[in-house]
């Protein structure tokens, strides 16, 4: 039976849902047990991740078909907005510009954007759409948990939590763009599901490495 793009996206997301034990840090944040320094490190690592991902998405938009390009353009626009929210979160963590500029990023945290950049250069755009959709589901759940914990346990206000609120909120327009991109690739026979699953698995692995590395941060 022929599957639709939406069915494929839902199945892939479900199959590649991460093991809850793969992220040791978010449960600590949820309980208010993570040190403020760890939250600051999270903000500072994201200062490197967000612009790197934005540039990768813009590159993908340039080399993709119109349907996939629309998806990646929307992602890039979202990263630009998230970067503004991130400034507020970083400041709420007590980090000023001088401290932010002096921060040395952790290799384990930066393996994720490095792999996204590799995908932008080497992978089929529609395959990446499928892989990213599966990964974003997990990331959105983490952000929802963190946003709640920041308010309940750390006394952060809405503006300081906006970065995480942004990624936690449903994005029906982006979901629609992903479905169109994948459906076009299915119709043209250009989607490689095996590779997409491989990419998604590696993205999830790098995501887990990000959180594990932060959890070990002093």
Q: 165 pLDDT exceeds 50?
A: yes
| More confident site: 154 or 133 | 154
Q: What is the pTM of this model?
A: 0.94
Tell me the mean pLDDT in the region 70-81: 97
Share of the chain above pLDDT 90, in %: 84
CA–CA dist 102, 88 (Å, integer): 18
Domain 25-215 is of which CATH architecture?
Up-down Bundle (1.20)
b/e burial code for range 131-160 (CB count within 10 A of at least 16 → b): bbbbbbbbbbbbbebbbbbbbeebebeeeb
Confidence of residue 1 (pLDDT cuts 50, 70, 90): very low
> pLDDT digits over 86-106, tens only?
999 999 999 999 999 999 999
Q: 195 pLDDT exceeds 90?
A: yes
Tell me the mean pLDDT in the region 154-181: 95
User: What is the predicted pLDDT for the residue at 69?
Assistant: 96
Per DSSP, which regions of 45-98 are E strands?
Answer: none
| CB atoms near residue 23 (< 10 Å) | 22
Please state, in angstroms and as integers, the Cα–Cα distance from residue 35 to each residue in 26, 96, 157, 172, following that order: 12, 18, 18, 34
Q: Residue 105 in contact with residue 46, Cβ under 8 Å?
A: no
Closest alpha carbon to 42 in 152, 135, 167: 167
CA–CA dist 141, 158 (Å, integer): 18
| More confident site: 138 or 39 | 39
Question: For all residues of the chain together, what is the average pLDDT?
Answer: 93
b/e burial code for range 33-54 (CB count within 10 A of at least 16 → b): ebeeebbbbbbbbbbebbebbb
Closest alpha carbon to 192 in 7, 34, 8, 52: 8
Q: 2 pLDDT exceeds 70?
A: no
CA–CA dist 143, 194 (Å, integer): 28
Q: 39 pLDDT exceeds 70?
A: yes
CA–CA dist 35, 165 (Å, integer): 21
CA–CA dist 207, 19 (Å, integer): 12
CA–CA dist 133, 122 (Å, integer): 18
User: What is the predicted pLDDT for the residue at 218?
Assistant: 65
Report how far Cα 5 is from the mean position of its chain's Cα atoms.
Answer: 21
């Amino acid at each position: 039976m022929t599957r639709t793009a939406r069915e494929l996206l839902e199945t892939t997301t479900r199959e590649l849902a991460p093991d809850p034990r793969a992220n040791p840090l978010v449960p600590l944040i949820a309980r208010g047990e993570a040190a403020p320094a760890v939250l600051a490190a999270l903000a500072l690592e994201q200062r490197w991740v967000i612009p790197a991902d934005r540039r990768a998405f813009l590159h993908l938009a340039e080399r993709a078909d119109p349907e996939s390009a629309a998806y990646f353009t929307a992602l890039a626009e979202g990263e630009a907005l998230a970067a503004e929210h991130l400034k507020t979160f970083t400041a709420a963590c007590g980090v000023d510009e001088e401290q932010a500029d002096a921060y040395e990023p952790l290799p384990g945290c930066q393996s994720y954007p490095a792999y996204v950049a590799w995908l932008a250069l080497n992978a089929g755009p529609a395959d990446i759409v499928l892989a990213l959709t599966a990964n974003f589901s997990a990331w959105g759940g983490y952000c929802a948990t963190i946003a709640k914990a920041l308010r309940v346990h750390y006394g952060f206000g809405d503006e300081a939590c906006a970065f995480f609120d942004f990624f936690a909120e449903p994005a029906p327009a982006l979901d629609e763009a992903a479905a169109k991109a994948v459906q076009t690739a299915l119709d043209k026979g250009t989607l490689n599901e095996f590779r997409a699953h491989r990419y998604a698995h590696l993205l999830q692995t790098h995501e887990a490495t990000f959180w594990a590395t932060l959890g070990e941060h002093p």
